[in-house]
Structures are given as structure tokens and as C-alpha cells.
Chain A
């Protein structure tokens, strides 16, 4: 049972984001790429928020988002991209798939904690 799924191929980023969220009382699970993210989300329906990178091996973050909506049929989970990318076309693709927001790395936890809590219903 977790509130947030963090998907990033960089263990440096996963450690940083997960450590911050756990310190602030949130429960977290991790995935190493888009494929793994789909498996983890399918296995834990309690997840309320997915925080995902875009550029990852095996399956990129935007493809994962589209598959969450189509293949998993999950239209309710909140999704935020955490990435170095900021191209309008990528954001448009994310918006079309129903993501809630976009964060350009580096991650600054204090700036987004309030929003994350709202998105998991706290």
C-alpha cells in the first residue's frame, strides 16, 4: 500500500525523491523505467500519484502514461512528470494523456510538497 510511485532510471534521483517524501510522512514505491512503472502500478492500486521521469530505457515516461490510461484503464491516478525536458511538444503529449503537471529537474521537494499532498488526498 503506497501513496506515491516514483519512476526514474537514475537511482540518484529515486533515492533523493523517495527519501524526501518518506521523511515527510508519505508512503512510496519505486520503479526503474516505464515498463517497471506499469507493473508496479498494476500491482498496487492504492497509488494516488505517479511521479515519473521522461527519458528512460525500455519504456519512456510519456509512453508509460499513455499505457496507464489505455492498457491499465486507469483514468484516475494523478501523474506528474519530473524531467530535464521542457519542450512544448512533449508537454502537449503529456497533457493529452491527462498528466496533472510538469517539473523540470533538479527536484526541489519543498517547492512541491504541498501539491503532492493534495494530489494524494491529504
Chain B
């Protein structure tokens, strides 16, 4: 796997013992985790914002109190029940001594000396879906190309793709489009701050330059970006055979506007990409951020994944006319 497609996941590290941070960092570095920290007073605020978390590493004595971590875990669980919490204890790597109700909040307990054993639960709780490298790399290429085509006067940077479990909606505008084949079924979302996209689209001479500056124009630009990426994804990964005979189950998609939360009825971790669009002409302007998420909640059979070789070989370059 090349570095640029190595999937990682961010974990929030809430540990009261600073002397353990080096060992926790080594564990994170060795297991494709990116540890982020938050001030104690800001923990719940951080959880309500979009930080794309995969899990939380929490110490039982967090906040300097014997069971301060457990009390905080109850609050975290109320705010973000989708996030797995791994509890670090001083004496034993088990949940003995906690009430039955509190035990349910934690996925697993560990001690600093047994932290390596967390490797097994990472696969269960964070990296439970296998995303083929060639697909991850391809998504990045497809999306970068689509955004470059739409925003010609923007520099576009892509961070390393990562796995998230949170369900928080980023920004003010998002698109949602189904992906349907015999080997996967789910959705792709693009999420962005409306004002940022508007600012980037209004500058320069790019293709997506807006003729009017209202929210409908932003919708159209994000919609066309979604369409270009969706089409390229299908052309590259879904053959005609893959699209036939799809069993059309569906589950409700729940959107909670108050909490900026969207649920696809599945606890599966989501594949996430972050793109940063900045103005080539004026680097002082705030960049626009686009988050792209893949949620294969209805079917995920990566063992059947393949690129469409025939299409690759016969592909006519985009933008060129294939005459019949």
C-alpha cells in the first residue's frame, strides 16, 4: 500500500497521565491512528464539532478524579453514542468493578502495559470494513480531477483518506447520491461550508464561476461535482453485469438538524476524504473544505470488487466526442 492511500483514523486521547503519552503515541503510530488531544474543559465542545473521530482513548482517572473518566464517558456516550470508547485502567485490563450500565459504555479496557492488545479491537471497531487500495486511490484521483475541472482557479489538496465512525454533518450544504452495484450498495456524500464554496467559485474564471451568488447556485456547483465523481466512480468500478439484478432493499436515512447528525441505519465505519480548495490568485482568502464520505450501508462485498478492465481499455478520454 502506498503512503498516500494508507487509511488512518483519528482517535481522541483523553488521558490524565502525561507520562503515558509517548507510549500511546507509539501505539497510534504503529496502528494507523492519529491521536488528537483536547483540553478537559473543551471535550464536549470538540465532540460536537466535526473532527472525524474513529474512537476515544479515555483514562479512568481523567480529570484527576478516581472515576472522572467514567463520569465523562457517560456524557460522551450521551452526546456521541456511535463512538467506541477504550478505557485505560491502572490495575487490570477488564471492566470489573464498574456497574452493569457503565460497562456497556466501553468497548474494552486496557492498561498501559497491555495497550498493544488493543490492536485486535481496532479491527473490530474501527477498521472493520476492508477498502481496496486501488479503489481508495481511484476515488482520490477521480475526485481531484472533477474538482480541478470545476474549480480551475483553485489549488486542490487532498489529505490522506481516513475511517470515521462519527455521524456529524460538516458545513451548511451537503449532497447525497446512491452507489448501486452487485458488490456494494450505499451512498456518497459531499459536505461543505456554503460560504467557502461560494467564495472560491466566485473568484477567477473557472468553469464553476457562479452567475448569481445565492444558495441555489452553490447547490448546482456541489451537485455537478457530485455528478462528475459519481459517474466516474460507476464507469471505473461498476460493469454492466454489476448493475443488473440488484436487490432493492432500503433503510431509512435519518437526519437530525438540531444535532447536525445523519444516520444511515448502520454502525459501519465510513470512508472519508478531505479536500481543501484555495484560491490560486489570492492565498489570503480562507480555503473551502469539502468532505467526501462513502457509506456502504446496504451491501459491502469487497471480495467481488474489481476495476472495469474493458472500460479502461476502451475508454474514450473525457470531453472527446465518440462518434457512432
When C-beta atoms are compared, the residue in chain A nearest to B208 turns out to be A12
A-contacting residues, B242-267, CB 8 Å: 243
Question: B288 in the interface, Cβ–Cβ < 8 Å?
Answer: no
Q: In the docked arrangement, what's the CA distance between A88 and B310, Å?
A: 10
B-contacting residues, A74-122, CB 8 Å: 80, 83-89, 91, 94-95, 99-108, 111-112, 115
B223 partner residues in chain A, CB cutoff 8 A = 10, 12
Q: In the docked arrangement, what's the CA distance between A107 and B146, Å?
A: 11
Q: What band does the interface of chain A fall in when counting residues whose beta carbon is under 8 Å from B?
A: 20 to 34
Q: In the docked arrangement, what's the CA distance between A89 and B319, Å?
A: 20
Q: In the docked arrangement, what's the CA distance between A83 and B235, Å?
A: 11
SS class of chain B's interface: helix, strand, loop or mixed? Answer: helix
> Given the interface contacts A12-B221, A104-B319, does A84 sit within 8 Å of B240 by beta carbon?
no
Interface size on B, residues (CB 8 A): 33
B231 touches A103 (CB 8 A): no
B-contacting residues, A1-44, CB 8 Å: 10-13, 15-16
A80 touches B149 (CB 8 A): no
Residues of chain A whose beta carbon lies under 8 Å from any beta carbon of chain B: 10-13, 15-16, 55, 80, 83-89, 91, 94-95, 99-108, 111-112, 115
Residues of chain B whose beta carbon lies under 8 Å from any beta carbon of chain A: 146, 149-150, 207-208, 211, 217, 220-221, 223-224, 227-228, 230-232, 234-235, 238, 240, 243, 310-311, 315-324
Query: Could you show 22 A-B contacts with beta carbons less than 8 Å apart?
Result: A10-B223, A11-B220, A12-B150, A12-B220, A12-B224, A55-B227, A86-B311, A88-B310, A89-B240, A94-B324, A100-B324, A101-B324, A102-B316, A102-B324, A103-B322, A104-B316, A105-B231, A106-B149, A111-B321, A112-B321, A115-B321, A115-B323
